[in-house]
Amino acid sequence: MSREHSAANAVLAERWRQRPVSQRTTGALLSFCRQKPLGAIGGFLIVGLVLTAIFADIVSPYDPLLISRPDQLAAPSARYWLGADHLGRDLLSRIIHGSRTSLYVGILAILLGTLSGTSLGVVSAYFGGKVDLLVQRVMDSMMAFPMLILAMAVVAMLGPSLNNIILTLAIVLTPGNSRVVRGAVLSVKENPYIDAARALGARDLRIILRHILPNVMAPIIVLVSIQLGGAILVEASLSFLGLGPPPPTPTWGGMLSGTGRQFMESAPWMAIFPGLAISLAVLGFNLLGDALRDVLDPRMRGSR
């Protein structure tokens, strides 16, 4: 029975490989939605956020910087679906354009932080010895500070601007990424095929690029998906504290800061809707990240 079962699985696998790429992709997505419905909800939230950011100029009913004095603090209505702020600017348009800022900061910061953290983690684990000791002590010293406190210190030194926030978040995320990648590389480099590659005369750079990095991509992908939500939240926190992009750039955290608190009683929509946008974005990335961790992490697959 076991041989028949194995043969049947082999036939099914071969048929699956012969299908067009579009059918295989669709089937994989449907299977993921069935197995991880919460992850699918998070994915839909992220897709909606990305599409909103891409087509912000088209879907925004008004210019986010357009000031209308007669409409100051206008309540939600048919004209202003989410109301207007203290300068009469449409809140919905500002939230839509604020998604661009959040995604721009989050994606670039995660890419830079992942690249630097992966590089340091791989070098530290692969070469070991004094290199590993030096790199990890530097990472430990950075991780001794809470993320937001370290980010505030770096932004205060560099100055509040969009690119400086991206650089700050990349610096803050590097230590955690380095520790995760280092642990994965320490496990992978003990495999026999690494010793075989060395015996065949492969150089260190080739071993790292061809044999180690492809086998640690799963935890890196999970790390990226989970940290995107955290990066958006830190960016919103810095903007809320006045360390984000200067006005009139629409940012979710900036909408919560200052006027959002000042008019909390007379115009609560100025704080409620930006806060809801931040919550939905972070929730979407966290749900998708948890689902990808369950699917890609072999230890999680084995525990089910």
* Model confidence pLDDT, tens digit, residues 28-40: 677 777 888 888 8
Residue 83's closest CA among 273, 276, 240?
273
Q: How confident is the model at residue 302 (pLDDT cuts 50, 70, 90)?
A: very low
Where does the pLDDT of residue 16 fall: very low under 50, low under 70, confident under 90, or very high at 90 and above?
Answer: very low
Taking CA atoms, 2 is separated from 9, 10, 12, 138, 265, in Å, by 10, 12, 15, 53, 69
Binned at pLDDT 50, 70 and 90, residue 304 comes out as: very low
Residue 1: pLDDT over 50: no
Domains of the chain and any CATH numbers? 1-35 (no CATH), 37-303 (1.10.3720.10)
Nearest-angstrom CA–CA distance, 253 and 160: 13
Q: Which of 145, 144, 143 is nearest to 153 (CA)?
A: 145
In this predicted structure, which of 43-57, 77-91, 200-214, 232-246 has the lowest mean pLDDT?
A: 232-246
If one compares 182 and 35, the residue with the highest pLDDT of the two is 182
Residue 34 confidence (pLDDT): 81
Distance CA 304, CA 299 (A): 9
Give me the pLDDT at residue 96, please: 92
Tell the residue number behind the tokens 């989050």, with chain if given. Answer: 106
Quick one: average pLDDT of 179-200? 86
Q: What is the pLDDT of residue 69?
A: 85
Mean pLDDT of 257-281: 82
Residue 215 has pLDDT above 70, yes or no: yes
- Cα-based torsion angle of the residue sequence 158, 159, 164, 169 in order, rounded to the nearest 10 degrees: 80
Per the prediction, the chain carries an average pLDDT of: 81
Nearest to 211 by CA among 228, 222, 198, 220: 198
pLDDT reported for residue 297: 60
Lowest mean pLDDT of 89-98, 115-124, 184-193, 295-304, name the range: 295-304
What's residue 159's pLDDT? 79
Distance in angstroms (rounded) separating the CA atoms of residues 292 and 227: 13
CA-to-CA separations, 179 to 116, 230, 275, in angstroms, rounded: 12, 17, 32
The predicted model gives 158-165 an average pLDDT of: 82
